Amino acid sequence: MSTEIKLPDGAPDEVVTHALVRDVDLSAFGFIGSLALITLDNGEDHNRPNTFGVQSLTELNAAISQALSRKPSAIAITGKPFIFAAGADLSALSFLTTREQALAIGKLGHDVFRRLGELDIPTFAFINGLALGGGLEAGLHCTYRTLASTAFTALPEVFLGLVPGWGGATLLPKMIGPERAVQVIMLNALNNNTMMKAKDALALGIADAVYEPADFLERSVKFAADILSGRNKIDRVDYSNDPGWEKALATGSAAAFKKYGGASMDAPARALALIGQAKTATRSAGFDAEDQALADLTMSDPLRSSLYAFNLIQKKRKKVEGAPKSALARKVTKVGVVGAGLMASQLALIMVRNLKCPILMTDLDQERVDKGVAWVHAELKKLVEKGRMSQESAHRLAGLVTGSIDKSHFATADFVIEAIFEELSLKQTLFKELEKIVGPECVLATNTSSLSVEAMTQGLEHPERVIGFHFFNPVAIMPLLEVARTSTTDDATTATAISVGKELKKTMVITKDAPGFVVNRLLTRFMGEITDAMDEGTPADVADNAMRSVGFPMSPFELLGLVGPGVALHVAQTLHKNLGPRYRISPTMQRLVTEGVKTFYIKSEDGKLIANPAAVALIEKGDKPSTAQEVRLRALNALAEEARMMLDEGVVATAAEIDTCMLLGAGWPMILGGILPYLDREGISESVCGKRFHPKGVASLL
């Protein structure tokens, strides 16, 4: 096989995953013979997973040949501690310049992996840890698979704009049946790249056995010996005539449409086509089709966009742009949470789970405090019931969460965050009260979504210790945390806040203390254009669905129902006051809040979303309707204009930070690669602002 694949200049050097071969004598396990064990190891620390690039595949191919030369009874492949393999090395894909290069990489992976499934002796995959994409596909080529109970597996390719292109789309449907294959390849991937636990993979038929990590390798070797000796026999099912093929493909197609609204459907469509072909295709024909699909998708905009978004998120998780030196951070041993409503309670829960220090909640009266503390305790109990936390751990954490109406208990806190009603005067009064109680180095944080943090510091003796710490709802799930510095916030305060955010496992972006920060400012401007179009006479369904072609999983009015008209109106009013008339106040929104109507949609008796008659009755009756395309262009133009203003004002330092915020805080589709690259590609950036936000070529963005 040829491995002469020359990557373009500028492509990052591959971190090679070596393939090391050793012999394992099986006589101690009741079988006279040997097992050639190939161990994948990239030589990096445990945080860097094994991946497959051109050199790594070449080494694995050589290792298979070396193993065969030893005349073993079987060959097995496993990974370094806790990691099997995380799939293809994606770092160089955005640098490929020709389809032929992409096709060659696909063929090389097939040529190497298929050897594991076409030898004259059995092969085993001892999947001892994380196995994603091509990592799991390597295992699928083997005759048998064992999994460590702590291992997670997935085929995330469709999520990134690819297909399982090294055998997964062809082998898996025949191995576990079409419905289960669609679940793994499509539904899991589209559901924010859900990974399977070992027990799930076992139930689906992907694994033949699951063992605890302490003696995983020893028990896997015994499993192999039992297979070879005939003491254990695994029956396989032929799914060629399974009646569920058409239903499975229809389910996958519906899930893709729901996720992308008809936009960027190339990867899901190609994946479904490959799954459908697997029913009758030979192995070689299936692999050839995977090669072609992989080559086409690799050279497409959606894949390049997804890689930009994926790599950007990985980069921002590791490094916070503009953060002070971490050595300046102060140790946080006790946290105060002012407020005991739902948002405050969520903050208390995430703090105690990750910081594992005392958390004190307070509110206006004991009843509210008790309700907030009880909510946290109940959520910990649910984690135990779901098997995600031990009873002992939950009991210990619950004991750390207490409540009081007496704020004097904050005297020993190192970090206090408020999540009270969004009223500036209330927050100003609160901070003045807290300043007299807490120690001189205690950080005072606000979870405000739109108010001026600096305005909250007026009259304080130490405004330098106040910082914005804006979470997104639901707190446990949404990965973004906007950290807003005022003109007086000092480096020690910022470093401490960043340290806390890292402990909470959040991706952070430091923003200027500007109205709405990043996400709410852009979302409110965007939502305002949609509601304005409706108020002007555009039918509500036309306005609401105008952005479906972009690929949002949730329409603007569905999002409004999640956020709540009251919150949305308050943010719009704040931005209107601070940023001017381009943030218009919708009369329809005002009526919804006044009348207590909380959603544009309600569920019908059959569970479908339908227009809420109470909301429809309150819509402003304008006489200047727009088409869906006009609404779409209007909203995108507004986003481009606002993003350019934010960069000019220094709200964030780079365009990439706006992309990060919208990807992680607003659910901007990964497959579009971030809001600003999308506006660049559509020509909107230059049309509205006179220039692009990013240089041409996604590779140059990273």
Catalytic site residue 157? yes
**Separation between Cα atoms, residue 405 and residue 144, nearest integer Å:** 60
**Separation between Cα atoms, residue 175 and residue 233, nearest integer Å:** 16
Please name the residues in contact with 277: beta carbons below 8 A apart, sequence gap of 6 or more: 170, 285, 286, 289
Helix (H) and strand (E) counts in the chain = 29, 20
**Separation between Cα atoms, residue 103 and residue 101, nearest integer Å:** 5
Q: How many residues in the chain? A: 702
Please give the backbone phi and psi of residue 40, each rounded to the nearest 5 degrees, phi first. -85, 130
Per DSSP, 307 falls in state H
Active site residue: 4, 44, 118, 157, which one?
A: 157
The residue assigned the tokens 């294959």 is: 181
Catalytic site residue 367? no
Tell me whether residue 267 is exposed, middle or buried, using C-beta atoms within 10 angstroms of its C-beta: 0 to 12, 13 to 18, 19 or more.
buried
Three-state DSSP class for residue 132: strand
CB 243 within 8 A of CB 234: no
Structure tokens, 665? 């805080």
Three-state DSSP class for residue 37: strand
**Separation between Cα atoms, residue 485 and residue 655, nearest integer Å:** 18
CA 688 to chain centroid: 31
Rg from Cα positions in the chain: 28
CB 335 within 8 A of CB 351: yes
Q: What is the identity of the amino acid at 562?
A: L
Q: What is the identity of the amino acid at 643?
A: A
Angle at 326 (CA atoms; ends 324, 331), nearest 5 degrees: 120
Active site residue: 4, 14, 137, 441, which one?
A: 137
**Separation between Cα atoms, residue 156 and residue 175, nearest integer Å:** 18
Residue 260 vs residues 9, 194, 229, 547: alpha-carbon distances, Å: 34, 17, 50, 10
Residue-wise burial string across 64-91, b where 16 or more C-beta atoms lie within 10 A, e elsewhere: beebbeeebbbbbbbbbeebbbbbbbbb
Percentages helix, strand, coil for the chain (3-state, rounded to 5) are 50, 15, 35
Sheet with 443-446: strands ordered across: 401-403, 359-362, 335-338, 415-418, 443-446, 466-470, 480-485, 507-512
HSE, CB side, 13 Å, CA atoms: give it for residue 425: 0
CB 418 within 8 A of CB 447: yes
Structure tokens, 88? 């293809």
Dump strand ranges (E) for 86-200: 123-127, 130-132, 144-148, 152-154, 196-197
Sign of CA dihedral 91, 92, 97, 100: negative
Longest alpha-carbon distance in the chain? 86
Residue among 8, 13, 59 at smallest CA distance from 38: 59
CB 472 within 8 A of CB 480: yes
Structure tokens, 591? 């009526």
Three-state DSSP class for residue 216: helix
**Separation between Cα atoms, residue 240 and residue 173, nearest integer Å:** 9
Residue among 669, 648, 647 at smallest CA distance from 658: 647
The residue assigned the tokens 């449907």 is: 173
Query: Which residues are annotated as catalytic?
Result: 137, 157
